[in-house]
A and B are shown apart, each in its own frame.
Chain A
Amino acid sequence: MNLVYQKLSPQIGEIAWNEPISDGLLQQQLLVQKELLSELKTDIMETRIGFTRLSIIWKKQPTVAFMENWLRAVDLSKSKITRSDIVWQVPVCYDQVLAKDLIELASAKNISIDQLIELHSSITYRIHFFGFLPGFMYLNGLPEKLHTPRKVIPVRSIPAGSVAIGNFQTGIYPAESPGGWHVIGRSPISFFDGSAFPPVWAKPGESLEFLPISVREYESLCRFPRKPSRK
């Protein structure tokens, strides 16, 4: 495995994987991140993970040659043993009242609403990283049948908790935001609390499932919010 290191600025560098998004790739990223933060901690300000990259803001950036040698020395096979088995269960109400694009998406896919819900909620999704908005999880695993291009014109306001589909991804809007994804449900729980530490409950590498709930359950969870349960 030959990892490439690129200096993006005097402060920023990036490690590139040139392979498709997968659990195995994520495990390698998490392992390299852990090794970086244990071995080169004093030189690092922060690290970030994307689907195929790991970037570093340095206090003191080493040379490209140093980083390439360092990366060659990381034993990536260790990644097989560090996979998390935590699965979060996120309650979602797939009712049309809360899901503006549900009917349209099901008919575009030529499936019934129940089939769409079944397809979406029968999968265990992997949490790769947080981005877009504070607390927004990038998930991998959406069935190909549900892949849908983003809307050409983004909607001005998507409510917090909205569960949506965009391209090959599904995700949950942690806060009210403009957005171009197709909304198929809404979760009553909180995904980001800026007054808490940590402000989120999940970690990259863990997994997540959507648990269909009724409108009545949705309303009751809105009144008595709780964290998602673990499977």
Chain B
Amino acid sequence: MNLKSGLMKILKTGPCTSVQDLGRSNLSHWGIPISGVADQKSAGWVNHLLQNRKESAVLEISQPGLSLSFSDPTIICIAGASALVKLNGKETHPSGLIYPESGDVLDIGPFYTGARVYLGIKGGFQSEERLSSKSWYQGITSLEYAKKGTELPYFAVPSPFFPFYAKAKWNTSWFEKTELEVFPGPDWDLLSKQEKNLILTHRFTVSSLANRMAVQLQDLVPNSLPELPTNPVYPGTIQLTSGGKLLLLMKDAQVTGGYPRILQIEEESQWILAQKKPGDQLEFSLKRP
């Protein structure tokens, strides 16, 4: 089959819009982070509806104010945070499949709930692949974040005579809960009973320092943990600094870290965390792995 290539052009974007797939596994021994979509459930949903492979690259959007155009017809799907979506200036229902034509402009406006919108495209974005992944990361791919003028290739799909408007409704209630499931980390038992108790009963607030590397919480946990040697950390690892800051590591986190590793967030709870924005509340519920 002769596939025609289309280009999606970014006309306007806020900070931190990036192409992500499931990331790079088995390269951490060179210091390379896993990367990949922060909320795997939402990204998985768009790829599923598009009948893409689950590792297909999608666009991860963390700020309202994105505008983009399509050079050729295709099929797209949007999930994750709920937001105002417009096709050629007209509000469109973002659930299900959208069929942009050549020259169409799509806008993603204010977010109603959640922190990250995922935009999937039929066949996945065909952008540059580095070290077996298309996930953007500084120093590995040529781009870290999308800018005005960035062009992303995709396979054009002729407009169907009878477009199928999947009625599947995207539900956001799963990430609106405040409770994250956590497992004891390697250094959990170095904490005192009072310190543990504070962490497991307090309702924490997400600070404005939240990005693809880590989410920092506003509330401090004063502690007397010792200095520890640098050891492996993962997306979902919660580190506690000597200054009492809690750092919840995300997909672009470094592969090793020196701060005590007190908790590990369960996988689906990491996706919930990916949808939390500054000011949102969180609490931890301890489980055994």
Query: Bound state CA distance, A51 and B26, in angstroms?
Result: 19
A48 lies within 8 A of B28 (CB): yes
- Assess A133 versus B130: contact at CB under 8 Å? Given A48-B255, A198-B30: no
Nearest CB of chain B from residue A75's CB, rounded to whole Å: 23
Nearest CB of chain B from residue A217's CB, rounded to whole Å: 26
Tell whether A155 is near chain B: CB-to-CB under 8 Å: no
B30 lies within 8 A of A135 (CB): yes
Contact with B along A47-59 (1 / 0, CB 8 A): 1111111010100
Tell whether B256 is near chain A: CB-to-CB under 8 Å: yes
A135 lies within 8 A of B31 (CB): yes
B186 lies within 8 A of A14 (CB): yes
**With a CB–CB cut-off of 8 A, which chain A residues contact B131?**
194, 197, 199
A9 lies within 8 A of B236 (CB): yes
- Assess A194 versus B141: contact at CB under 8 Å? Given A12-B234, A204-B29: yes
**Could you say which of B116-124, B197-205, B224-232 contacts chain A?**
B224-232
Candidates B255, B257, B264; contact of A130 at CB < 8 Å = B255
Candidates B29, B138, B232; contact of A14 at CB < 8 Å = B232
Query: Which residues of B212-252 have CB atoms within 8 Å of chain A's CB atoms?
Result: 229-232, 234, 236
A133 lies within 8 A of B231 (CB): no
A194 lies within 8 A of B232 (CB): no
Query: Bound state CA distance, A21 and B230, in angstroms?
Result: 10
Query: Bound state CA distance, A49 and B255, in angstroms?
Result: 10
A53 lies within 8 A of B186 (CB): yes
- Assess A46 versus B141: contact at CB under 8 Å? Given A52-B231, A55-B232: no
A130 lies within 8 A of B232 (CB): no
Nearest CB of chain A from residue B9's CB, rounded to whole Å: 25
- Assess A46 versus B25: contact at CB under 8 Å? Given A51-B229, A130-B30: yes
Query: Bound state CA distance, A53 and B28, in angstroms?
Result: 14
Nearest CB of chain B from residue A127's CB, rounded to whole Å: 12
**With a CB–CB cut-off of 8 A, which chain A residues contact B101?**
none
Query: Bound state CA distance, A122 and B138, in angstroms?
Result: 34
Nearest CB of chain B from residue A161's CB, rounded to whole Å: 13
**With a CB–CB cut-off of 8 A, which chain A residues contact B236?**
9
Query: Which residues of B253-282 have CB atoms within 8 Å of chain A's CB atoms?
Result: 254-257, 264, 266-267
Nearest CB of chain B from residue A112's CB, rounded to whole Å: 30
Query: Bound state CA distance, A105 and B28, in angstroms?
Result: 33
Most buried by A among B29, B32, B183, B257: B29
Nearest CB of chain A from residue B287's CB, rounded to whole Å: 10
Chain B interface SS verdict (over half): loop
Nearest CB of chain B from residue A47's CB, rounded to whole Å: 7
Query: Bound state CA distance, A9 and B232, in angstroms?
Result: 14
A133 lies within 8 A of B139 (CB): yes
Nearest CB of chain B from residue A36's CB, rounded to whole Å: 13
Which residue on chain A has the smallest CB distance to residue B182?
A9
Tell whether A200 is near chain B: CB-to-CB under 8 Å: yes
Query: Which residues of B120-146 have CB atoms within 8 Å of chain A's CB atoms?
Result: 130-131, 138-141
Tell whether B289 is near chain A: CB-to-CB under 8 Å: yes
Which residue on chain A has the smallest CB distance to residue B231?
A50
**With a CB–CB cut-off of 8 A, which chain A residues contact B141?**
194
A50 lies within 8 A of B232 (CB): yes
Tell whether B14 is near chain A: CB-to-CB under 8 Å: no
A9 lies within 8 A of B289 (CB): yes
Query: Bound state CA distance, A14 and B187, in angstroms?
Result: 12
Contact with B along A174-194 (1 / 0, CB 8 A): 110000000000000000101
Contact with B along A38-51 (1 / 0, CB 8 A): 00000001111111
B31 lies within 8 A of A130 (CB): yes
Nearest CB of chain A from residue B18's CB, rounded to whole Å: 16
Tell whether B185 is near chain A: CB-to-CB under 8 Å: yes
**With a CB–CB cut-off of 8 A, which chain A residues contact B254?**
131-133
What are 12 A-B pairs with beta-carbon distances under 8 A? A8-B183, A8-B186, A9-B266, A21-B229, A46-B29, A52-B229, A133-B139, A134-B30, A134-B33, A195-B130, A198-B30, A199-B30
The 3 A-B residue pairs whose C-beta atoms are closest, nearest first, are A50-B231, A131-B256, A130-B31
Given contacts A46-B28, A135-B31, A200-B30, 18 further A-B contacts (CB under 8 A): A8-B185, A8-B234, A9-B183, A9-B266, A12-B234, A46-B25, A46-B26, A48-B28, A50-B229, A57-B234, A130-B31, A130-B255, A134-B139, A174-B139, A192-B31, A194-B130, A197-B131, A199-B131
